[in-house]
Amino acid sequence: MKKEKHQGRISQFGIYLGKYLRMFVYQNDWKVIPMSAIIAGVVTVVVGSNMFVTQEGTLTGTFALACVCLWNGVFNSIQVVCRERAILKREHRAGLHVSSYLGAHMIYQFLLCLAQTGVTLFVCTMASVAFPRTGIITPWGIVDVGITIFLITYAADLMALMVSCIVRDTTTAMTVMPFVLMFQLIFSGGFFGLSGTAEKICNLTVSKWGLDSLCAIGRYNELPMVTLWNTIFKFKDIEIQGQKPLLDLIRYAQDNGYRDQFLLWSGQYNTKPNYAASVENVLHNWGMIALLGVVFVIISWIALHSVDRDKR
Amino acid sequence: MTVTFNLFDSIYPLLSWLLFSLGLWKLLIKMKWKRPWMACIPGLRTFALASAMDMDREGVICGVLELILFVDSFLQPAVADSRIVAAYSILLLVLAAIMIIYEIRIFIRLTTVMGVRKVWILLWIPFSWFPMMIFGFSPKFQPKSINFTEDWQAGTSPAEISAASGVAATTSGLTVNLQERTARDFLKKRYLLKDISLSIPNGSLVLLLGGSGSGKTTFVNAIIGYEKAKATVILNGHDVYREYDRMKYRIGFVPQQNLIRMSDTVERTVGDSAKLRLPKNVSNKDRRTRVEEVMDLLGLTAGKEGLVAKKSGGQLRRISIAQELVSDPELFILDEPDSGLDGVIAREIFTKLRGIADEGKIVIVITHTPDRVIDLFDKVIVLGRDSGRVGRLAFYGTPDEAREFFGKDSMEGIVMCVNRQEEGGEGMADYYIAKYAELTALKNAPPTQTPEPETPSAAESAEAPKEGDPA
């Protein structure tokens, strides 16, 4: 039989990308954009005021920001493949290349995440978040933060895409999703003190590298720490032999302008090597997020090849 | 007091294990299980019990879990990290919980087999050895012969019916010589289809008939090469299986469900299908022309800019057909294209299919309401499930021949004829499968060869029609 050539991977990729872009309009996928604005708005109003101002505020704020990114990314794609798995099976039988299908999804989700990143940054700016003036990689801090937000969102998106490729229906996907999110949050390494094996597991999470990157860009190690000052302040009325030495210390520091120095000094004792504001550290963090994204894509690609084995 | 408690603590598990094993040994003997000694081996004993009641899958899962937990009970934690120990304990706990769920399932089946109330399960959970001893040793409790295994055993042993002879492959049309289509379901090999040979000339509109579960969809999946069988399928001189990567573009298959993305326009949906299915050397202009032709033929041109989601059931079926038809397939198979449609629209769709067949294509259609459109068909394939619940060819010929062969006036009557009695049918599948095999053997036999009068024919050896059935 004379060999007939059919549409190759690149042409098929174009067909599917066009399909998803149309579906963005028709299937109300656009709703994820305002949704990301609302989530970012709520979070930044609550935790944004001290973000990139103090160490505690930065840690809380960047953690919340990473959570927003994870949430956005996961919700973008958790159902996209499994909801049309039967259609995919039919099209695979008709000559669809899995790589083209997956590639189209990746580019479509890339654009979606890019838009969400823009929206999140805009909302943060509107909420008067004090972004670092200078960046680590680029001259602008907001650009570095934006790249990190995008990478976290996109990696989370690819992770959810992987889940969507593995599971066979939307119910299972939505059941798995909370566990995926919980795993990311618990093993982010920011709030929960982890050591040993648990610490090693952290390296498998997008949240860990994202949080490290945001804190590094926010120059966490150079920021003042307020916890010690606030703790001392709480005990200011303690009397020792009829005197209040802590109150005297506080007054002395405030009257002579040593308060800010004290805060910076206490911050210097709370530095973390993971949050070092160096080019190497930030690039390493970004690289790890990208690597995780690549792993997610490879697993998705492998998982999707089993679509023909789906039972009727 | 403390000594007594410790003694009890160490002896009780051993004692309960021993009692359970003894009870199960006796019970397995009652169940005619060939290897009752398996009752003494952790893991195997649960499998034996479950498998004796046709619960292989549950038996293996539960057995493996039981074995893991059994081995674990002899292990000492080798790591000092308390968190790893905690994680390990949680894992074991989860495994134990899963095992209990499977054990409950097995025991529920056991209560059915033994004919006791399900309340016995309350005894099983804390003292599994107790009901096992009673079931094993008490002569009052005997396993009942319950036909719960019917679904499970379906297809595991095909009926002994002589096969219809194969047909010679031709360079035009479709020739199918299917020896068997099997599937491995856990530990068992199931026959889904067996001995189906037929040859369909080009330009035929063929009706594929058969009751639920007779293997119609499995058969068409085997024909199109998507779920390969032990068979040869030749389409216009080309082996579908060997040249699958090329032949798949020449075969269109419209599935039972409307597998279409709802959030796209009709025109784009059909257009994208054309891009995917048509060869690369087809120009954009020709492709657009083909899309327009197909949409015209199927009455989709009006409202082609509209969203698929907004279309009616009939229109959705037509879009689904258009997606496959756009590649101009040589073999076009449709699985219930009329499901959920009223008679007028269904007739309209079948008329279009007649037109496609008249262009020289082979169109095979599965439908559950054939009589309203039977005049349009050239041939009828009737699949029946034999007594071993394996799909086989009960007839292939023209609709008139089919009526004569089965002695029925309608296609639905024919389906009822081969359907099982439990499904409201006449349960005559074995008879007609054998009769058809004999008929084809006679047709293919050389003219000098005559059947031996003394030897009972295949049809006679199968279950003969009862009173009121066709002679």
| Residue ranges of chain B assigned to CATH 3.40.50.300 | 174-461
* Residues 371-400 in B contacting A (C-alpha not used; CB under 8 Å): none
Spatial separation of the C-alpha atoms in residues B219 and B198, rounded to whole Å: 12
Let me know whether A251 and A196 are in one domain.
Answer: no
Confidence of residue A94 (pLDDT cuts 50, 70, 90): confident
Residues A144 and A84 in one domain: yes
CB contact residues (below 8 A), chain B span 317-376, against chain A: 324, 327
Interchain CB distance below 8 Å, B272 and A90: no
- Whether B263 and A86 lie within 8 Å, measured CB to CB: no
Residue A2 placed within a domain:
no
Checking if the pLDDT of B175 tops 80, the result is yes
For residue B253, the chain A residues in CB contact (below 8 A) are 93
Beta-carbon separation of A6 and B260 below 8 A = no
* Contact (CB<8Å) A94/B276: yes
Whether residue A87 and residue B261 make contact (CB cut-off 8 A), yes or no, is yes
**Cα–Cα nearest to B382, from B215, B218, B211, B208:** B208
Q: Do B281 and A4 touch (CB under 8 A)?
A: yes
Q: Name every chain A residue with its beta carbon within 8 A of the beta carbon of B257.
A: 86
Q: Is residue A253 part of a domain?
A: yes
Window from A210-219, A251-260, B233-242 with minimum mean pLDDT: A251-260
Of A3, A27, A197, the CB nearest to B84: A197
- Note the pLDDT of residue B470: 41
CA–CA gap between residue B159 and residue B152 (Å, rounded)? 16
Q: Report d(CA B178, CA B164) in Å as an integer.
A: 11
Which A positions 90-109 lie with beta carbon below 8 A of chain B?
Answer: 90-91, 93-96
Q: pLDDT per residue over B327-372, tens digit each?
A: 999 999 999 988 877 788 888 889 989 999 999 999 999 998 899 9
B215: phi > 0 → left, psi -120 to 50 → alpha, else beta; which? left
Q: Are residues A236 and A133 in the same domain?
A: no
What is the pLDDT confidence band of residue B1, given thresholds at 50, 70 and 90?
A: very low
Query: Quick one: A84 and A164 in the same domain?
Result: yes
**CB pair distance less than 8 Å for B272 and A19:** yes
Q: A261 touching B, CB under 8 A?
A: no
Q: Looking at the structure, do residues A180 and A234 belong to the same domain, yes or no?
A: no
Q: Round to whole Å and give the CA distance between A265 and A248.
A: 19
Q: What is the 3-state secondary structure (H, E, C) of A39-71?
A: HHHHHHHHHCCCCCCCHHHHHHHHHHHHHHHHH
In a domain, A4, yes or no: no
Contacting residues of A for B259, CB less than 8 Å apart: 86-87, 89-90
CA distances from A221 to A192, A304, B66 (A): 19, 44, 53
Using a CB–CB cutoff of 8 Å, tell me whether B185 touches chain A.
no
Number of domains in chain A: 2
Both A126 and A233 in one domain: the answer is no
Q: Are residues A124 and A174 in the same domain?
A: yes
Question: Would you say residue A190 lies in a domain?
Answer: yes
CA distance A252 to A248: 6
Query: Is the CB of residue A309 less than 8 Å away from at least one CB of chain B?
Result: no
Find the closest chain A residue to B280 by CA distance. Answer: A6
Query: Using the beta-carbon criterion (under 8 Å), do B279 and A1 form an inter-chain contact?
Result: no
Residue A171 lies in a domain: yes
- C-alpha A184/C-alpha A289 separation (Å) is 13
Looking at the complex, does the CB of residue A196 fall below 8 Å from at least one CB of chain B?
Answer: yes
Instruction: Find, among A87, A89, A93, A85, the residue nearest to B225 by Cα.
Output: A93
Q: Is A49 found in the same domain as A139?
A: yes
A265 and A277 in a single domain? The answer is: no
Q: Is the pLDDT of residue B179 over 50?
A: yes
Q: Quote the CA–CA distance of A114 and A145 in Å, as a whole number.
A: 13
**Cβ–Cβ contact B86 with A under 8 A:** no
Residue B455: is its pLDDT beyond 50?
no
Helix (H, G, I), strand (E, B) or coil at A240: strand
In this complex, do B268 and A308 lie within 8 Å of one another by their Cβ atoms? no
Q: Rounded to a whole number, what is the distance in Å from the CA of A142 to chain B's nearest CA?
A: 37
Q: Does B282 lie at the interface with A, CB-CB under 8 angstroms?
A: no
Residue B76 has pLDDT above 70, yes or no: no
User: Count of CB atoms within 10 A of residue A151's CB?
Assistant: 26
Nearest to B206 by CA among B344, B52, B402, B405: B402
Secondary structure in 3-state letters for chain B: CHHHHHHHHHHHHHHHHHHHHHHHHHHHHHCCCCCHHHHHCCCHHHHHHHHHCCCHHHHHHHHHHHHHHHHHCCCCCCCCCHHHHHHHHHHHHHHHHHHHHHHHHHHHHHHHHHCCCHHHHHHHCCCCHHHHHHHHHCCCCCCCCCHHHHHHHCCCCCCCCCCCCCCCCCCCCEEEEEEEEEEEECCEEEEEEEEEEEEECCCCEEEEECCCCCCHHHHHHHHCCCCCCEEEEEECCEECCCCHHHHHHHEEEECCCCCCCCCCEHHHHHHHHHHHHCCCCCCHHHHHHHHHHHHHHCCCCCCCCCEHHHCCHHHHHHHHHHHHHCCCCCEEEEECCCCCCCHHHHHHHHHHHHHHHHCCCEEEEECCCCHHHHHHCCEEEEEEECCCCCEEEEEEECHHHHHHHHCCCCHHHHHHHHCCHHHCCCCCHHHHHHHHHHHHHHHHCCCCCCCCCCCCCHHHHCCCCCCCCCC
**Range(s) of the domain holding residue A259:** 226-269
pLDDT at B197: 92
Chain B residue with Cα closest to A88: B259
With H, G, I as helix, E, B as strand and everything else as coil, classify residue A243. strand
User: What is the Cα–Cα distance from A300 to A94, expressed in whole angstroms?
Assistant: 20
- pLDDT band at B155; cut points 50, 70, 90: low
Topology of the domain covering B174-461: Rossmann fold (3.40.50)
B260 in reach of chain A (CB within 8 A): yes
Question: Which residues 50-69 of B have a C-beta within 8 angstroms of A?
Answer: none
ipTM of predicted complex: 0.81
CA distance B219 to chain A (A): 14
- A128 pLDDT above the threshold of 60: yes
Q: Which of B426, B429, B430 is nearest to B469 (CA)?
A: B426
Give Cα separations from B49 to A260, B115, B128 (angstroms): 75, 16, 13
Kindly tell me the sign of the dihedral angle through the C-alpha atoms of A257, A258, A261, A266: negative
Lookup: tokens for B390 = 């394996």
Q: Name the packing angle between helices B284-297 and B266-277 (round to 10°).
A: 130
Query: What is the band of B468 on the pLDDT scale with cuts at 50, 70, 90?
Result: very low
State pTM to two decimals: 0.80
Query: Same domain, yes or no, for A304 and A280?
Result: yes
Q: Retrieve residue B463's tokens.
A: 């279950």
**Residue B199 tokens, joined:** 């040859």
Query: What pLDDT is recorded for position B471?
Result: 32
In a shared domain, residues A234 and A123: no
Task: For residue A187, give the 3-state DSSP assignment.
Answer: coil
β-sheet bridge partners, residue B189: B184
Q: What is the DSSP letter of A241?
A: T
**Rounded (10°) CA dihedral B320, B321, B326, B327:** 100
**SS3 state of residue A24:** helix
A 10 A CB-CB count for B266 gives 25
Residues in chain A: 312
The pLDDT assigned to B460 comes to 54
Residues B54, B59, B61, B64: is their CA dihedral positive or negative? negative
B366-393 tens-digit pLDDT:
998 899 999 999 999 999 988 888 999 9
Question: Which token pair is A207?
Answer: 């949240």
Mean pLDDT score, B156-165:
70
Cβ of residue B287 closer than 8 Å to a chain A Cβ: no
User: At residue A197, does pLDDT exceed 80?
Assistant: no
Q: CA-to-CA distance for A183 and A67, rounded, in angstroms?
A: 12
Angstroms from A214 CA to nearest CA on chain B: 29
Rounded to a whole number of angstroms, the distance from the CA of A5 to the nearest CA of chain B is 5
The stretches of chain A forming alpha helices (DSSP H) are: 9-26, 32-47, 55-77, 85-93, 98-126, 141-166, 170-186, 197-202, 206-217, 227-234, 245-255, 259-268, 279-304
Confidence of residue A25 (pLDDT cuts 50, 70, 90): confident
Read off the pLDDT of residues B397-418 as tens digits, 9 standing for 90 and up: 999 999 999 999 999 999 999 9
With CB atoms and an 8 Å threshold, state whether B276 touches A6.
yes
Choose between B285 and A23: higher pLDDT: B285
Of A15, A27, A196, the CB nearest to B263: A27
Does A123 map to a domain? yes
With H, G, I as helix, E, B as strand and everything else as coil, classify residue A37.
Answer: helix
Same domain flag for A188 and A288: yes
Q: How far is CA A125 from CA A120, A234, B284, in A?
A: 9, 33, 48
* Tens-digit pLDDT profile for residues B213-242: 889 999 999 999 988 899 999 999 999 999
Q: Chain A contact for B242, CB < 8 A?
A: no
The DSSP line for A126-141 is HTT----SS-SSSS-H
Computed over every residue of chain B, the mean pLDDT equals 85
Residue A1 within any structural domain of the chain: no
Please give, rounded to a whole number of angstroms, the shortest distance from the CA of B255 to a CA of chain A. Answer: 8
Mutation target to probe the A interface, by most A beta carbons within 10 A, among B226, B235, B276, B280 is B276
Instruction: Quickly tell me which residue has 């999946």 as its tokens.
Output: B221
B300 close to B270: Cβ distance less than 8 angstroms: yes
Shortest CB distance from B243 goes to which of A1, A6, A8? A1
Mean pLDDT of B290-308: 91
The 8 Å CB, 24+ separation contacts for B401-406 are: B405/B432, B405/B435, B405/B436, B405/B439, B406/B382, B406/B432, B406/B470
Tokens at B53, concatenated: 């009641």
Give me the mean pLDDT over the B2-13 stretch: 66
Q: For position B169, what pLDDT does the model report? A: 75
From chain A, the residues in CB contact with B324 under 8 A are: 94
Instruction: Give the other-Cβ count within 10 Å of B238's Cβ.
Output: 15
